[in-house]
Amino acid sequence: MPDLVLKPLTALGHDAPLTESLGPWTLTERADVALASLAPRRGRAEDVARIAAAAGIALPSPAMSAMGAVFGSFWMTPEMWMIEAPFDSHSDIRAHLLGLFGDAASITEQTDAWVRFDLSGENLPHLFEKLANFDLATAPEGAATRTVIEHMGCYLVKRSATQVTIYGGRSSAQSLHHALKLAAQAQA
Amino acid sequence: MSQTNRISGGQIDRSKSLRFTFDGVTYSGHAGDTLASALLANGVRLMGRSFKYHRPRGPISAGSEEPNALVELRSGARQEPNTRATVVELFDGLVAQSQNRWPSLSFDAMAINDRFNTFFTAGFYYKTFMWPAAFWEKVYEPIIRRAAGLGSLSRLEDPDDYDKGFLHCDLLVIGAGPSGLMAALTAGRAGLRVILADEDFRMGGRLNAETLGVGDQSGADWAAGVVAELASLPNVRMMPRTTVYGAFDHGIYGAVERVSDHLPVPMAGKPRQTAWRIYTKRAILAAGAIERPIPFENNDRPGIMLAGALRAYANRWGVAAGRRVAVFTNNDDGLRTATDLQVKGVDVVAVIDTRSGGPLLAGIRHLQGAEVIDSRGRLGLTEITVRSAKGAVETLRVEALGVSGGWNPNVSLTSHHRSRPIWRDDLAAFVPASDAPAGLIPVGAAMGDLSTHAALRGGAEAAAQVVADLGHGSARYDLPKAEDAPVAITPHWYVKSDKGRAWIDQQNDVTVKDVKLAHQENFTSVEHLKRYTTLGMATDQGKTGNVLGMAVMAELTGKSIPQTGTTIYRPPYTPVSLGALGGRSRGKDFKPFRLTPSHKWASEQGAIFVEVGMWLRTQWLPRKGETEWRQSVDREVLATRKSVGICDVTTLGKIDIQGTDAGAFLDRVYANTFSTLAVGKCRYGLMLREDGMVFDDGTTARMGPSEYVMTTTTANAVTVFRHLEYCRQCLWPDLDVQIISTTEAWAQYSVAGPNARKLLQKIVDQDISDAAFPYMGAGEITVGGLRARLFRISFSGELAYEIAVPTRYGDAMIRALVEAGREFDAVVYGTEALGVMRIEKGHVAGNALNGQSTALNMGLGKMVSRKKDAIGVLMSQRTELVREDGLRLVGVKPVNPAEPLKAGSHFLKTGAAATAEHDDGWLTSMVYSPHLGHHIALGYLKNGTARIGERMRAVNLLAGTDTEIEIVSPHFIDPEGERLRA
């Protein structure tokens, strides 16, 4: 069926990503980011660092993220980073990264494993004190952490004082969205 | 009723009148009142009945230590039992009822228990309900359970929300009395992130209850000024109505904030209570001290209260608990009550001071060396009997008596890591030991510094030390002038009496006599004393009674109090509602849901879903006219076997395993070999635990020379991943292996049945003929140009594939498969049909993977390779596990095809008695096979493989069934596997 065209849905199950106001904060569902994990093979850390630097991919230190011209990234676990790139230009991000890193790194497609919500607005720490055990107020810009929100494992990335990214498991996107709404309602 | 006992002064807002009801009678109070202060203002002293004897009781305290004034608060679904009237903030429309009485508070028929008090002494249960043994379960326990408890539950669902949250700070200050306020001010001004929490709705602690000045202001005004300044500091978070109930590990404190308890109904979207976890670098415990009474005969009448509480009601709330009062004390602090009340114009009839000598109070009848020896008044105090130093006995007519036996520093939180407080003779009290939880610094009255000056100084010094320790330089503070009276106490633990009862623990009706009886019967250790007498149990946890009980025991044993023992406390400091602990995790929000990629489509089709862990999976999809689940499931199975069926299998765990040593790694975690698997192929794998039992199974595909994709069962997706991480990081860090879960990244569908290939060929871009894509093939393909993966694996025994596309296309994919399958009468099947087909094929699943079964038990013994070492292989070869006559997986069918089988049945030889010694194994999974037209089952049978063809019985004693069965091969369908290789 060569003419078959599969139409994507967002993690929340809609045709288009959701943007909504939650009290003083704005929630934006992001379906426009491709993701892949990058882990240097044993003994290839230097190769990976060199290739990454040349390609404009930062490999930030533990608990941090970085944003480049095309690629963003955050530290996930020892010797593993999540690489972000625009979905439109990198819908097959793994193939793209394999072209750069070859056999120096293990690269795994992660785009659709996650739902991404960006929360923006003033006083985000007030919202997050009901969500996660993460001291957003004192965390530096770019801080990234793995945490739990209402039983759901998540990554948090502090983009700036007024913007935070949450990555949660895609299958529980609706539950995560529900939890964010309830917290915002209580804290608004 | 007017507020007859309201006097001048206090920190209440007299411009705001609030109406409330107690036991159906309407009263009025003011903003700033507690329920107890408002009732006392209205002349109501009787607020409850005691637990055991149903004695009339009123409040003895003005705080959270209250043992007596427990009420049912609010009505309907919001009714809350055992609420302390002394801390309930009054609001307009508040409704409260008394509890533990029948038919009314003033006439309680259960008070008959008091007449029989000689029977209900300590150890009553243990002695009384010994015989006959058979009576315990049927007679005694039901009666005791009916009599137990105080308040009642509404049995309606709580309509309000509860929440949880996380706070972080440099310094948590627990308690906002003089030491806490001074600590918060010092640290706050120095720039520390400070949280100041207090259980009261008005911060200030005892400063609000005393007439003592601080600087050139009243204590209450000074406190209000500091509170205002702290509230203006952006680095200080003020948390009134917040009880820090526990000190946990690593500077973590539990706190409950009563967000809406002071409102008739929570505001929209707001919780009633929030349970906070507070992460702090340091904590200052400024929890103050709790006064203790001096037990004397009939010391429990409404109107008899702690001296500090009596003056707190007067000074803070403008309430005289009685117009004629007396004070009974063994220390100077008790004298303050007399002088404060006298200034307020209350008639102070006498001060009964157990001490001899020293200055006499001016203008008050001060009886030194005297004792209160009895009291009278049916529902409230009317008179006390006093014995003078010379032994003369007189009766004084009073409505209230303030009793002070000294103050116990509130050490509770310092004990939460098992630190035992130490005794100080000069205070006649326990103070915190130096091994309190790391980072927790007790100050002020909680440390035994009982003067206002010492409290202010202790708070400031401790905060300054924290400021320095945390690298914020040296903090400056100015100590305002305040009283610094030394503690002057001569312990007088109880009034000796030969006949009557003197209450130590009023909530549990524990008297001095009970302690004596415990001593007489050799329950002398404090732990035994507690359990034998119930001293210190229930909602107040002995805040006013524990030290007294120990002191009485010390006197009886002739030992000192520290020799007798110490009393320590566990969390929570005060009761925490289960709602607050549960937070949002209740009802449909009890846990998050995971939705499969086909969920939206399946919902549209009216699918029935089943919870599998957090996943919601399609269980079956009823079609029009199908009224019973079996109709749907049978149809799904038959249609799949006849033509083709589609099933969402996304929930199976998928783990990406890469690295140059990925094959070697798999060889070590799987019992069978994977390093030899060709690229583009997959293999069924069996994973064992260290003890040799089967852990999990699934297929793993080799996608490239250094790249594998493992699948796990849905249930074990997380545990297998965790296991692999452990193996990778801890057991074999030298291997070049990287792993990550990809379960959610791919929407995966099984397409099974004779027409599976024809259907899929319409969808995929590549040739998937048997030659191009043989049995157990795996590889990257495309669907309309979109990247996808295809695996030729089967769980049903049919020709089958699993196709995976990026999850965002999962919804489109199920719709495309259904559309493409229309010409083949394709069905979408759920987990029930999946289960039927796997049993028909003889595959093991959850019921057989029970953690006690080996590969050999499952008929998969040959999969355990001896050519290499792997986790669990050696242990799986233990003698008992490899017995020839051990359990083996077999198929089971009823001899009479019309007879159903029962899951959980045990196998018995024909004629054998249904007893454990004749048990030959059990039936693990059972279904009706629409294909075969009768029930079939799998089970573990002793020496099963050799017994194929044998007839025996499947007996289920619980269900009362006894069915004749035949043991058959576990492969009911296509035992040679011709279908799946088609």
* Helices and strands per DSSP (H, E), number in chain A: 4, 11
B678 interfacial to chain A (CB closer than 8 Å): no
Residues A87 and A121 placed together within one structural domain of the fold: no
Whole-prediction pTM: 0.94
B488-516 mean pLDDT: 93
**Are the C-beta atoms of B411 and B388 separated by less than 8 Å?**
no
| Preferred mutation among B593, B808, B818, B823 to probe A, highest tally of A CBs within 10 A | B808
Interface contact B805-A6, CB threshold 8 A: yes
Residues A147 and A86 placed together within one structural domain of the fold: no
Interface contact A129-B738, CB threshold 8 A: no
Residues of A with CB below 8 A from B784's CB? 1-6
- Domain B653-741 architecture: 2-Layer Sandwich (3.30)
**Are the C-beta atoms of B790 and B797 separated by less than 8 Å?**
no
Q: B976: which residues sit within 8 A by CB, 6+ positions away?
A: none
Measure in Å the smallest separation between the Cα of A54 and chain B Cα atoms: 23
Q: B927: which residues sit within 8 A by CB, 6+ positions away?
A: B835, B836, B839, B840, B935, B936, B937
Interface contact B596-A171, CB threshold 8 A: yes
Q: B632: which residues sit within 8 A by CB, 6+ positions away?
A: B620, B621, B622, B623, B626, B832
Q: What is the DSSP letter of B727?
A: I
The secondary element (H helix, E strand) that includes residue B680 is none
Q: Where are the domains of chain B?
A: 13-129, 162-289+409-469, 293-405, 492-570, 636-651+745-829, 653-741, 838-860+875-968
The secondary element (H helix, E strand) that includes residue B758 is helix B756-761
In a domain, A68, yes or no: yes
In a domain, A1, yes or no: no
How far the first Cα of chain B sits from its last, in Å, is 92
Residues A117 and A128 placed together within one structural domain of the fold: yes
Which CATH number characterizes residue A177's domain? 3.30.1360.120
SS (H, E, C) B216-240: CEEHHHHHHHHHHHHHHCCCEEEEC
Q: Which CATH superfamily is domain B293-405 in?
A: FAD/NAD(P)-binding domain (3.50.50.60)
Interface contact B812-A7, CB threshold 8 A: yes
Q: Residue B16 pLDDT more than 60?
A: yes
- Going by C-alpha positions, the residue among B344, B320, B317 that lies closest to residue B90 is B317
Nearest neighbour of B742 by CB, restricted to A13, A108, A129: A108
Q: Let me know if the fold of B13-129 is the same as that of B636-651+745-829.
A: no
Residues A60 and A126 placed together within one structural domain of the fold: no
pLDDT reported for residue B889: 97
Q: Indicate the average pLDDT of chain B.
A: 95
Q: Which residues pair with A30 in a beta bridge?
A: A116
pLDDT reported for residue A1: 52
B809 interfacial to chain A (CB closer than 8 Å): yes
pLDDT reported for residue B671: 97
Residues A107 and A132 placed together within one structural domain of the fold: no
- Going by C-alpha positions, the residue among B381, B388, B389, B345 that lies closest to residue B363 is B345
Q: B64: which residues sit within 8 A by CB, 6+ positions away?
A: B84, B86, B87, B199, B243, B543, B573, B574
B388-399 mean pLDDT: 97
SS (H, E, C) B111-142: HHHHHCCCCCCCCHHHHHCCCCCCHHHHHHHH
pLDDT reported for residue B982: 85
Q: Percent of chain B at pLDDT above 70?
A: 100
Measure in Å the smallest separation between the Cα of B736 and chain A Cα atoms: 5
ipTM above 0.95, yes or no: yes
**Are the C-beta atoms of B666 and B724 separated by less than 8 Å?**
no
Interface contact B738-A188, CB threshold 8 A: no
Task: Using pLDDT thresholds of 50, 70 and 90, give the confidence band for residue B124.
Answer: confident
Interface contact B763-A4, CB threshold 8 A: yes
**Are the C-beta atoms of B117 and B501 separated by less than 8 Å?**
yes
Which CATH number characterizes residue A75's domain? 3.30.70.1400
pLDDT reported for residue B130: 76
What is the rounded CA–CA span in Å between residue B854 and residue B747? 32
| Preferred mutation among A1, A3, A6 to probe B, highest tally of B CBs within 10 A | A6
Residues A159 and A66 placed together within one structural domain of the fold: no
A43 interfacial to chain B (CB closer than 8 Å): yes
Q: What is the b/e burial string over B411-442, where b = at least 16 CB atoms within 10 angstroms of the residue's CB?
A: bbbbbbeebbbebeeebbbbbbbeebbebbbb
DSSP secondary structure of B81-114: EEEETTTPBP-TTEEEE--S-SB-SSSBGGGHHH
B584-602 mean pLDDT: 96
Q: How far is CA B437 from CA B345, B415, B432, B888, B971, in A?
A: 46, 8, 10, 55, 62
Q: What is the b/e burial string over B916-951, where b = at least 16 CB atoms within 10 angstroms of the residue's CB?
A: eeeebbbbbbbbbbbbeebbbbbbbbbbbeebeebe
In a domain, A4, yes or no: no
**By residue range, what is the domain housing residue A164?**
19-31+113-187
pLDDT reported for residue B742: 98
Query: What's the sign of the alpha-carbon dihedral B796, B797, B799, B801?
Result: positive
In a domain, A147, yes or no: yes
What one-letter code names the amino acid at B42?
A: N
Indicate the Cα dihedral angle A44, A45, A49, A50, nearest 10°. Answer: -30
Residues A85 and A175 placed together within one structural domain of the fold: no
In a domain, A158, yes or no: yes
A113 interfacial to chain B (CB closer than 8 Å): yes
What is the rounded CA–CA span in Å between residue A188 and residue B154? 32
Q: What are phi and psi of B172, to 5 degrees?
A: -105, 125
Q: Tell me how many residue pairs between chain A and chain B have CB atoms under 8 A apart.
A: 156
Measure in Å the smallest separation between the Cα of B263 and chain A Cα atoms: 16
Name the domain boundary from A112, A131, A148: A112
Nearest neighbour of A150 by CB, restricted to B167, B592, B706: B592
Measure in Å the smallest separation between the Cα of A153 and chain B Cα atoms: 11
In a domain, A181, yes or no: yes
Q: Percent of chain B at pLDDT above 90?
A: 90
Name the domain boundary from A95, A112, A129: A112
Name the domain boundary from A112, A132, A152: A112
Interface contact A182-B277, CB threshold 8 A: no
Residues A104 and A63 placed together within one structural domain of the fold: yes
Q: Residue B447 pLDDT more than 90?
A: yes
In a domain, A80, yes or no: yes
**Are the C-beta atoms of B178 and B477 separated by less than 8 Å?**
no
C-alpha neighbours within 13 Å on the C-beta side of residue B889: 26
Residues A99 and A132 placed together within one structural domain of the fold: no
What is the rounded CA–CA span in Å between residue B686 and residue B831? 22
DSSP secondary structure of B795-837: SSSSSEEEEEEEGGGHHHHHHHHHHHHGGGT-EE--HHHHHHH
pLDDT reported for residue B17: 97
- Domain B492-570 architecture: Orthogonal Bundle (1.10)
Residues A70 and A98 placed together within one structural domain of the fold: yes
A37 interfacial to chain B (CB closer than 8 Å): yes
As a CATH number, domain B13-129 is 3.10.20.440
- Going by C-alpha positions, the residue among A62, A79, A28, A71 that lies closest to residue A142 is A62
A118 interfacial to chain B (CB closer than 8 Å): no
Residues of B with CB below 8 A from A147's CB? none
In a domain, A10, yes or no: no
What is the rounded CA–CA span in Å between residue A128 and residue A121? 12
- Domain B162-289+409-469 architecture: 3-Layer(bba) Sandwich (3.50)
What is the rounded CA–CA span in Å between residue B875 and residue B801? 35
Residues A117 and A180 placed together within one structural domain of the fold: yes
What is the rounded CA–CA span in Å between residue B268 and residue A61? 43
pLDDT reported for residue B295: 98
**Are the C-beta atoms of B793 and B685 separated by less than 8 Å?**
no
CATH T-level fold of B838-860+875-968: Elongation Factor Tu (Ef-tu); domain 3 (2.40.30)
- Going by C-alpha positions, the residue among B849, B737, B835 that lies closest to residue B795 is B835
B271 interfacial to chain A (CB closer than 8 Å): yes
Residues A167 and A122 placed together within one structural domain of the fold: yes
CATH T-level fold of B636-651+745-829: Gyrase A; domain 2 (3.30.1360)
For residue B879, count other CB atoms closer than 10 A to its CB: 6
Domain count, chain A: 2
B contact residues 707-736, partner A, Cβ 8 Å cutoff: 707, 735-736
Nearest neighbour of B813 by CB, restricted to A6, A43, A185: A6
- Kindly report, residue by residue over B638-647, the tens digit of the pLDDT: 999 999 999 9
Q: Residue B1 pLDDT more than 70?
A: no
Nearest neighbour of B659 by CB, restricted to A31, A41, A113: A41
- Going by C-alpha positions, the residue among B301, B313, B397 that lies closest to residue B350 is B397
A137 interfacial to chain B (CB closer than 8 Å): yes
**Are the C-beta atoms of B653 and B721 separated by less than 8 Å?**
yes
- Kindly report, residue by residue over B30-58, the tens digit of the pLDDT: 999 999 999 999 999 999 999 889 999 99
Residues of B with CB below 8 A from A82's CB? none
B257, with CB counted inside 10 A (0-12, 13-18, 19+), is buried
- Going by C-alpha positions, the residue among B523, B527, B528 that lies closest to residue B570 is B527
B108-114 mean pLDDT: 85
The mean pLDDT values, 10 residues at a time, for chain A of 188 residues are 84 98 98 98 98 98 97 97 98 97 98 98 98 97 97 98 98 98 95
What is the rounded CA–CA span in Å between residue B399 and residue B395? 13
Interface contact A152-B270, CB threshold 8 A: no
What one-letter code names the amino acid at B560?
A: S
- Kindly report, residue by residue over B216-237, the tens digit of the pLDDT: 999 999 999 999 999 999 999 9
